[in-house]
Structure 1
Amino acid sequence: MSMAINREELIKLYEEIGLNVLDNNTVMNSSNKKICNFLVNVIEQRVIDGKMYLCINALGINGEVLPEVILDSHTINRPTWVTDNFGFKYSIDKKYINDFIELIQHLCMNIKTKYIYDHTGWIYQDNKWIYLHGGGVIGGSNVQVELDESIDNYVLPDKISDINKACEMSLKLVDLMEDDKGIIFSSLVYLSPLIEIISRKTKPPENIVWTYGKTGSRKTAVSKVVLSHFGDFNKKIPATFNDTITAIELKANKLKDSLYLCDDFAPKQEYRDKKIQDSKAESIIRMYGDRVGKGRSSNKLDIKDAKRPRGMILITGEDLVCGESSNARLLSIELNRNSVDLNILTELQNNSHLLGEAMRGYIEWLLCGMENIDELSNILLYNFKSYRDEIREQYKDDIHGRTIESSAWILVGFSCMLNYIRDKGVIDKYEDDEYMDRAIKVVERLIEEQIKLISRNSPIDIFLNTLKESINSKSIRIATLNDQNQVIEDKLEYICGYKDKEYYYFYTDKVYSFIEFENKKRGIHLGISQRQLVKQLRDSGIVKVDSNNDSPKKTIHTKDASDSTGYTTIRPRMLQIERSIIENFQI
């Protein structure tokens, strides 16, 4: 509903700059020329996510209140906005558009400015840091937050009823799952509001926590409880794999310094559907793993700012996405029916409002240090480097660099949570140390599992495993050579290679196509080209090479009844792999 307008007071403002208003609300300039045939009224200025807008309404010819209109600096100079919003009987004379702009500027002299944001997280306004959420702002005023409908439940409580009770409830998340896996989720929760602070001095964390398990493992129920630190997610969650990648990306940008959930990476029966879902997963992983957004241009071919992710993310699914590169960016947590303590889960679900209070208390606690944000950032960076260097020293070259950094950030987030809870008197120094020891042990177990997971998903392992299974099941056709390199079989249609007592010899094109085809049926993709695969096989010493680091030629005698010897000789270059490498291979 449009705001009421006091016509008499508005006319006085017009007269202050020499304008005259007729009975039908037509506005005349000092030369008695018509500027417009409505009485414009400025309600307020609005700064929406850093960009200035003007909110106006107007009185029409018969004194009716015309609709509220939001205009930016470009639109207001184009008179067509009048017809678009008020109808065809209203207009501004193009020759006097400057007079109209002067009127607008005069009306703006004493109006309020309202700040409106469409994202969560930290912003710097009026010389201080404040934190935005769907219900308003922590640490400031004169700010309004208008989130998209899909994420408007990111709302923190207005007040804290009992900070000790709230922190105790949040701490129960640590014990929610077997083997202290709940620590990873607690770390993720309390790391999320630190992204702005960390980004002041270094690249933000590139962690992606992926929880997976079969239906009934309660992965979604657990994820909702984790997310309850940031709002009420009983009725809706921010994203699923049914969303478009563009929608997922835009919400990742809006959920600044918050935790984002993308739910339900589920098996697909159709190969095309699986490819689409895998593509989304890989895009999300690279989005957060590299902290980049998709490049875009406007209709004028101007480069737009990329919508990079500005918080942390939790992904759930029935399985993991395939690929060594993708899995190197993940911290994966497998759940089964016995992984979750149902009593703790029920308690957390029934007291989810306390988790929100714990997060509000955490934001207020962080606010105390935000005046010296660079110092706070230096402390977090120092802790990260300390944990990172310790992990690197322990595992040397046995671990992917991304896993080292992700594990270190997990310890930073958990340490920050313990500092907060200890500062509130919920735990003492002895308990703090005990919790930190548990965190270090669970991270070590996570690293060991991650090393195995990345290995299982490497292109070389997929290649060798598929070869071994195909040879054992006789689904791949391989001809046999005797001691004189003569093929003993009569029919050679569709073969991929040969074998003797020591080696398998494969046609590169044929075996690559066969492996791709077999894995496509299983929903697995090598993720690298034929050339890259052969290079990795050579670099790993799995295939034999000649002096030029190329596949050596192999002399083979194939049966040929037209030849006097009964054989024809060929010398193709082939991938030569010792039989023992394939036959003894284990994932």
Structure 2
Amino acid sequence: MKDKQNSSPSPLPNTGKAKQRKDANKQPDKRRGYAEASRKRADAERQAMTKAEVETNQAQGPVPSEEPYFLDTDGYLCRVKRHRDSEITIRLSNFEARITEENVIDDGAERSIFYTIDGSILGKHALPSIEVPAPQFSNMTWVHKWGSRVILEPGRTVADSVRHSIQLASSDAPVKHHYGFTGWKEIDGSWAYLHAAGSVGAEGVSVRLAPEYARFRLPDAPQNETEAIQASLNFLDIGKRQITIPLLSYVFLSPLTTILPKMPGFSLYLYGISGSFKTTLAALCLCHFGDFSQVDSLPNFNDTPGSIEKRAFKLKDTLFLLDDYTPSHKKQEQQRKEDVVQSAIRSFGNRTGRARLRADASEMPRTYPRGLLLVTGEEAPSLQSTIARTLILELSRKDIDQERLTILQEDAHRLPHAMTSYLLWIRDNMNAITGKFPDRFLTLRNMATNEGQHGRLAEQTAFLVFALETWVNWLVDKKIFSTATAKEMLSEGWEIFQNLTITQSKRIEGDDPIASFFEILGTLIYQHKVRLDPCHKEGEIMGAGDRVGFYDNQRLYLVIGAAWNAVLVFLSKEGGHYPFSKSTFLYMLRQRGAIIPAHNGESTKPKTIGGESFRIVEVSDRLLINSVTSVIHEEY
């Protein structure tokens, strides 16, 4: 044991340091081996690439070094890629293309650029010309318009290279400028009226409009001018003058829309049952601006308010037709149509457009209506403020002479020539027309103003009379009317417009939302669906059901929450709705002076009746009170 404990272990050989010294001696040899192998691989790659280049050049011909893009012998678009000391041919596509025209279109708010592009497949088969919006050009997705035969080779930069080659090949493409709207435009110091085929009053003007506007085209000069003007005059005899004179005045007002210092703020509504020739009359009105024997492809009530607004901006100084506003059995569909007509009438009346943002959050230019709106329908607009912005012409079948209507339809091709004559006359008298407008308009509006009528109605009359005067002056200058005939026409027109104003005023009063609220409330009381309690014990309860307020000999005291809910429930069951919120309703009552507010100005105030405290609205307007009590008195 002792010997075993004292014995020390034999030392292990120091292999670690020896191995490190041995490996260190081998490192230079390994590095030299790696470098040699790398040189061999590089030589092999160069030889392979050189061989491939030789084979490619033998098959495709010599590579042109002066041009970055070229067609190989198979007709493929190619480019040259340098790899170290060699050049490699890269195929990009089986087609080549170039921009043949750069078209700049000014729509009055902003400019849009479109490229006209021609091309060919494999240098042999021509491709049809296509038009590409400039923002879509760089992504090359537009090549699908040429079909599946057009092929871009795979690769992340191929499309960008093809785009680059097209631009290099198109440096000499001509730039052409076009207008993208109708109506008046001052060009090089003189006025011209733009339309789909060019312009009236100027030569060499290019106008580019979407296909749906293509029918808005006029002759450069009137042919058979006298016969054309007479055909337009025959419009007055196809029906009652109470209808045809306002319509024709509206037609000849439309080219004045934007050149007058103040734009007209109303629309014309042809209202009548099916079969009363509404659309036919509207089409004849439009025929003064082109071939509109049919009204297909025009804006309608299936369009969105946004699309209507955009079209109304482009159709400047002309008629904009929304045809056939018909009632619908589906509540949702009816509400959608109502929204469209309300939006259109307000937009034309206020000359406003929606604010919109681009994808990068920058603001787009506002677009707003720049012509006149003509609506036809079997359903009249229902909102009081909308009716005030509308001249409604009621139409029945007996109002139209069908024989004369047919004759005018056959002569409809003459109507654009009459309009061209009128436009050329306006151009020659532009300063006189626009210069006298402010004072004359003010005079006409004052003459047409009647106490108690909506202020917009007098403006409607003033615009229509001014248009009629302008139209009559044109006819006198053309020797169509004598001075005496002109005076008779103006006198007849004034009387018709005044009568229309009176009718329209009654229509506005009949659609008063405040009066309507109290009439509905009176009906509900009469039907015993709600009740009014007397303020004093000797009175009788009127109606039955939920209490909506109290009454005495002088006032109505409405519990506004209960009364409001009762009216809204009634309207909902009838498929309608109240156009204002409760707070707006109370505000309108205060503004009208129909209620006695609290001392602090609030519409509601506390009142103790029969020992109970209620918060009520005290109605003092006798007309509103009578609209409730007159129904009550039929029963009590």
TM-score category (smaller protein): 0.7 to 0.9
**Aligned-CA RMSD value:** 3.7
Correspondence for 2:470: 416
**Deviation by residue 1:41-75 (Cα, 9 ceiling, x = unmatched):** 44333233443433232344343224434345555
CA offset digits 1:410-443 (Å, max 9, x no partner)? 1222222112222221112221122122222222
SS at match of 1:366: helix
Say which of 416, 433, 450 aligns to 1:356. Answer: 416
Distance (Å, rounded) in 2 between the aligned partners of 1:95 and 1:271: 56
CA shift for structure 1 position 144:
5.1
Q: Paired residue for 2:356?
A: 296
Match of 1:56 among 117, 121, 129: 117
Q: CA deviation at 1:572?
A: 0.2
Question: Equivalent residue of 1:296, what SS?
Answer: coil
Give the TM-score taking structure 1 as reference length: 0.81
Q: Say which of 132, 152, 158 aligns to 1:88.
A: 152
Q: How does 1:463-478 map to 2 (within 5 A)?
A: 463-471=517-525, 473-478=526-531
- How far did residue 33 of structure 1 move? 8.4
Q: Deviations over 1:241-295 (max 9, x none)?
A: 2333233223222322211111122223333233222211110011101112222
**Does 2:452 correspond to 1:398?**
yes
Query: Separation in 2 of the partners of 1:305 and 1:19?
Result: 41
Partner of 1:165: 227
Match of 1:255 among 289, 305, 315: 315
Q: Give me the whole-angstrom Cα distance separating, in 1, the residues matched to 2:275 and 2:137.
A: 56
1:415 partner SS:
helix
Cα 1:349–1:165 shift into 2, 3 Å:
same
Q: Hey, what's the Cα distance between the residues in 1 that align with 2:355 and 2:254?
A: 25
Matches within 5 A, 1:278-357: 278-357=338-417
Query: What is residue 104 of structure 2 aligned with on the other side?
Result: 47
> 1:210–1:315: 8 Å Cα contact kept in structure 2?
yes
Deviation at residue 327 of structure 1 after TM alignment: 1.4
* Structure 2 runs not aligned, ≥5 long: 1-63, 632-636
Compare CA radii of gyration and give the structure with the larger one: 2
Higher relative contact order (CA 8 A, sep 6+): 1
Task: Indicate how the Cα distance of structure 1 residues 495 and 41 shifts in structure 2: closer, same or farther if over 3 A, else same.
Answer: same
Identity across the alignment (%): 26
State the distance in 2 between where 1:458 and 1:522 align. Answer: 18
Q: 1:39 to 1:324 in 2, by over 3 A?
A: closer
Are 1:480 and 1:487, in contact at CA under 8 Å, matched by a contact in 2? yes
What are the Cα deviations for residues 85-137 of structure 1, in whole angstroms up to 9, with x where unaligned? 542249868579767644422x33xx4x5445553323445665433333444
For 1:504, give the aligned amino acid.
Answer: L
1:563 maps to none
Contact in 1 for aligned 2:201/2:220 (Cα 8 Å): no
Q: Separation in 1 of the partners of 2:397 and 2:116?
A: 55
Render the CA deviation track for 1:292-313: whole Å, top value 9, x for unaligned: 2222222222222233112111
Q: Per-residue displacement from partner, 1:537-561 (whole Å, max 9, x unpaired)?
A: 234343344444444433333xxxx
Hey, what's the Cα distance between the residues in 2 that align with 1:178 and 1:156? 28
Matched, 1:543 2:607: no
Partner of 1:530: 582
Alignment partner of 1:570 out of 612, 618, 631: 612
Determine the C-alpha separation between the residues in 1 that align with 2:324 and 2:386.
Answer: 17
Match of 2:485 in 1: 431
Q: Does 1:265 align with 2:325?
A: yes
Is the 8 Å Cα contact of residues 114 and 143 (structure 1) preserved in structure 2?
Answer: no
Partner of 1:187: 249
For 1:189 and 1:457, the matched residues in 2 are separated by 28
Q: Is the 8 A contact 1:231 1:356 kept in 2?
A: yes
Task: Give the whole-Å Cα distance in 1 for the aligned partners of 2:248 and 2:572.
Answer: 37
Instruction: Spell out, residue by residue over 1:478-505, the C-alpha distance to the aligned partner (whole angstroms, 9 max, x if none).
Output: 144373378869x975222234455433
1:83 CA displacement: 7.8
CA distance in 2, matches of 1:331, 1:222: 16
Mark the CA change 1:584 to 1:484 in structure 2 (over 3 Å): closer, same or farther. closer
Count of residues paired in the alignment? 548
